[in-house]
């Protein structure tokens, strides 16, 4: 399975929007949208160096399967691991490429 970065980002948006919609959690979707520009920039620049798109797709699949099976514990764990990887990846990229990120004052 091969996607361009643009295709991947579009599918990624759709996945998050659907999951937060099913959960009826507009706050989660708003939080995702608020960091979207930063995550998209990281994805275009270096995400594949730190987290492969295949790994992210696998994480999304685990989230989907746990939700489909209505397994709350598995869903929480899958979402938690996905968030940890995203934060870790972004921190690595931001530390290495400080000129790409505006620091809050």
DSSP string, the chain: ----HHHHHHHHHHHHHHHHHHTT-HHHHHHHHHHHHHHHHHIIIIIHHHS-HHHHHHHHHHHHHHHHTT-HHHHHHHHHHHHHHHHHHHHHHHHH-GGGSPPP-
pTM: 0.77
Nearest Cα neighbor of 56 from 11, 103, 93 is: 11
Mean pLDDT of all residues in 52-64: 87
At residue 64, the pLDDT reads 92
Alpha-carbon span 99 to 38, nearest angstrom: 13
> Cβ of 76: how many Cβ atoms within 10 Å?
12
Tell me: the pLDDT tens digits for 7-48?
Answer: 888 888 899 999 998 888 889 889 988 888 877 777 766 655
Nearest Cα neighbor of 85 from 41, 44, 39, 45 is: 39
At residue 81, the pLDDT reads 94
Alpha-carbon span 52 to 50, nearest angstrom: 7
Mean pLDDT of all residues in 75-101: 85
Contact 45, 14 (CB under 8 A): no
At residue 14, the pLDDT reads 92
């Amino acid at each position: 399975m091969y996607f361009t970065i643009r295709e991947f980002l579009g599918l990624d948006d759709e996945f998050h929007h659907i999951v937060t919609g099913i959960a009826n959690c507009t706050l989660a979707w708003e939080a995702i949208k608020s960091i979207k520009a930063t995550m998209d920039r990281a994805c275009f620049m270096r995400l594949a160096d730190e987290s492969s798109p295949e790994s992210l797709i696998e994480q999304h699949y685990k989230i989907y399967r746990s939700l489909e099976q209505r397994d709350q514990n598995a869903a929480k764990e899958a979402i938690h691991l996905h968030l940890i990887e995203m934060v870790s990846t972004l921190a690595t990229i931001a530390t290495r490429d400080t000129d790409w990120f505006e620091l809050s004052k």
